[in-house]
Structure 1
Amino acid sequence: MTAHSAISAQIFDEDAQRIFAGAYPDVPVKLHHGLAGHPLLAIEALAGLADRMPAASVEYNLGKLPLGVRPEDTPANGLSLGETIRTIESNGSWAVLKNVERDAAYGALLDAALAELAPIVDARTGAMLNREAFIFLSSPDSVTPFHMDPEHNILLQIMGEKVMTVFPAGDEELVPAVQSEAFHAGGHRNLHWQEHFRERGTAVRLLPGDAIHVPVKAPHFVENGAGVSVSLSVTWRSERSVAESELHGLNALLRRRGLPIGRIGAQPERQGARRIAYRIMRKLGV
């Protein structure tokens, strides 16, 4: 299959684009897409992709995990990645293929999806930066623990069923400021879970053809259904997300020195003076 033939159909139709425009960048929202059943996203095609990917671009483990789990406590499944994908229906595992856009055909798929949304994004948060794609494969009843991600993200459900429970970004009981600061300094995405958090989340059921927009750093967890699940995540950064990261970095530097930290506003890209201060402090090694 050529990259051109792989992207001939519309991925996000006019209705999906309208719904996305009403939510972006701060509100999670369910969308529809046209990639369910796409041959590049079939199990055997993904196993072949995994076989040619570098080890640093894959992550996989047993899939039946608690909602809160420390990264170092995540159990391996004892299989190779190719075996994990080809036997995903019965091996009780979870896997992610990272940065699949480095493969030409999958890169074309990412470009096609994001091109349909770029005018909306450009008008709200500026040009799409660092565009990436990830593919998630999950055995029946797998759980992706409570975590957050640094990118703007749309998760497209390709095969199977899952429920994603999404929480508001910026809630400091869910994610204390010091944890945000550590996260932007390279800390792990997994978050501390407490059962009473559940009432603050919104559970969204995803079937093939459904998608969900997840705002930057909106905490979430995912519970897979009774069948194999395949999902494609298309992500990008923006001037806004980069600015937020810089401002958390500045607060971390100030906090370590016992100095007052600053508030990060709803439009951090406009806090230019503080961003410049952070860059200067980093350059000087302060």
Structure 2
Amino acid sequence: MNAVSAIEAAVFPEEARAAFAAAYPDRAAKLSHGLAGHALLTLEALAGLAERMPAASVEYNLGKLPLGVRAEDTPSNGLTLGETIRTIETNGSWAVLKNVERDADYGALLDRALAELAPLVERETGPMLHREAFIFLSSPGSVTPFHMDPEHNILLQIRGEKTMTVFPAGDEELVPAVQSEAFHAGGHRNLDWRDGFRERGMAVTLLPGDAIHVPVKAPHFVENGPVVSVSLSVTWRSERSVAEGELHSLNALLRRRGLPVGRIGARPEAQGARRIAYRIMRKLGV
């Protein structure tokens, strides 16, 4: 199958779209997809892509990490990015290529995937905003530590096997409010880990052709299987996710001044007065 025909083929079959519609936006759900074996997602194609990307759009390091690790403690693997990808089967590394949609071919692939889901998304959270794509490459046994992300996300497994353990979004024992506030102010995505958390998560094993919907800011960690893993993450924002970020940022401003913080409801996009207050305070530099 060539790249053009793969892009034109359906990415998410009918049953996957139905499962996604039943879960979106608040619940994790296992899905299926048709991109395993795609020509744009081979190791050699990804190495070439990585080498022409700006340095700020790539991140890579040693892959066998504890579930809880501070960003500043993440160890380098001592290789170039191209070397990391081409030898990832044996070098014990993890890498992510960010915003690959800026490349025309990968942008077309993202557009095709999200076009299939857009009607389902729009009826729940409105138009898809700020659409992006990320590619993750992992050596056997690699671990992506406990963290959260600010986007609506579907992770598509392309090659290899991994297990993602996903936790409920909005659980303040897992992610205290002050940590959410710091995150929206530019704090790192990694979270504090306690062994007692594991039993509260849903572990989902992903093989080529499997995918998982991960809600906004649902904490998760990933454990790679015994072979190289390649995954494609397609993401978007919504008025709901933007509003949630604004309200946490407002609470951070209020907390710093010793003022009462507000509750963030299940539909933060409807909390218009508080969102306007935040925008005014930000504009005034309060």
Shorter-normalised TM-score: what interval?
A: over 0.9
The AA in structure 2 aligned to 1:123 is R
Superposed counterparts of 1:131-280, under 5 Å: 131-280=131-280
Instruction: After TM superposition, give the deviation of residue 43 of structure 1 in Å.
Output: 0.5
Aligned-partner residue type, residue 284 of structure 2:
L
| Cα pair 1:160 1:227 within 8 Å, conserved | yes
Secondary structure at the counterpart of residue 8 of structure 2: coil
Measured after TM superposition, the shift of residue 13 of structure 1 is: 1.1
Q: Which residue of 1 aligns with 2:283?
A: 283
For residues 224-246 of structure 1, give each alpha carbon's deviation from its aligned partner in whole angstroms, at most 9, with x where no partner exists. 00000000000000000000000
Preserved CA contact (<8 Å) 1:6 1:105: no
- The gaps in structure 1 that reach 5 residues or longer are none
1:52-106 Cα distance to aligned partner (Å, 9 max, x none): 0000000000000000000000000000000000000000000000000000000
Q: Distance in 1 between matches of 2:3 and 2:230?
A: 20
- What is the match of residue 60 of structure 1? 60
Match of 1:22 in 2: 22
Q: Which amino acid aligns with 1:53?
A: M
Q: Distance in 2 between matches of 1:144 and 1:49?
A: 22
Give the Cα separation in 2 of the matches to 1:109 and 1:265.
35
CA–CA distance in structure 1, aligned partners of residues 91 and 185 of structure 2: 35
* Equivalent residue letter for 1:196: G
SS in 2 for 1:164: strand
Cα distance in structure 1, aligned partners of 2:35 and 2:222: 20
Instruction: Report the Cα distance in structure 1 between the residues aligned to 2:178 and 2:97, rounded to whole angstroms.
Output: 29
CA change 1:137–1:126 in 2 (3 A) is same
1:63·1:94 contact (CA, 8 Å) conserved in 2?
A: yes
Q: CA deviation at 1:3?
A: 6.5
Q: Is the 8 A contact 2:61 2:76 kept in 1?
A: yes
Counterpart of 1:46, as a letter, is L
Partner residue in 2 for 1:49: 49
Instruction: Supply the distance in 2 between the matched residues of 1:160 and 1:189 (Cα, whole angstroms).
Output: 25
Aligned counterparts of 1:127 and 1:192: Cα–Cα separation in 2: 33
1:101 and 2:140 equivalent?
A: no
What RMSD, in angstroms, separates the aligned Cα atoms of the two structures?
Answer: 1.0
TM-score normalised by L of structure 2: 0.99
Cα deviation digits, residues 111-160 of structure 1 (max 9, x gap): 00000000000000000000000000000000000000000000000000
Retained in 2: the 8 A contact 1:3–1:109?
Answer: no
User: Post-superposition, which runs of at least 4 consecutive aligned residues in structure 1 deviate over 3 A?
Assistant: 1-6
Distance 2:187 2:283 in 1: 21
Q: Tell me, what secondary structure is at the counterpart of 1:203?
A: strand
Deviation at 1:8, TM superposition (A): 1.5
1:37 CA drift (Å): 0.5
1:87 aligned partner: 87
2:6, 2:158 → 1: CA distance? 15
Counterpart CA distance in 2 for 1:257 and 1:3 is 55
Q: Is the 8 A contact 1:160 1:230 kept in 2?
A: yes
Q: CA deviation at 1:5?
A: 3.5
SS class of match (2:246): helix
Distance in structure 1 (CA, Å) of the matches to 2:9 and 2:102:
21
Residue 2 (structure 1) shift: 8.2
Partner amino acid for 2:58? V
2:69 is matched with which residue? 69
Read off the aligned partner of 1:169 and give its amino acid letter. A
Distance 2:255 2:186 in 1: 17
1-structure distance, mates of 2:254, 2:105: 45
Runs of 5+ consecutive residues of structure 2 not aligned to the other structure: none
Alignment-mate amino acid for residue 28 of structure 1 = A
Give CA-to-partner distance per residue, 1:194-220, whole Å, 9 cap, x none: 000111101000000000000000000
Letter in 1 for 2:106: Y
Write the distance in 2 (CA, Å) between the matches of 1:18 and 1:77.
41
Q: Distance in 1 between matches of 2:147 and 2:20?
A: 23
Percent identity of paired positions between Structure 1 and Structure 2: 84
The amino acid across from 2:240 in the alignment is R
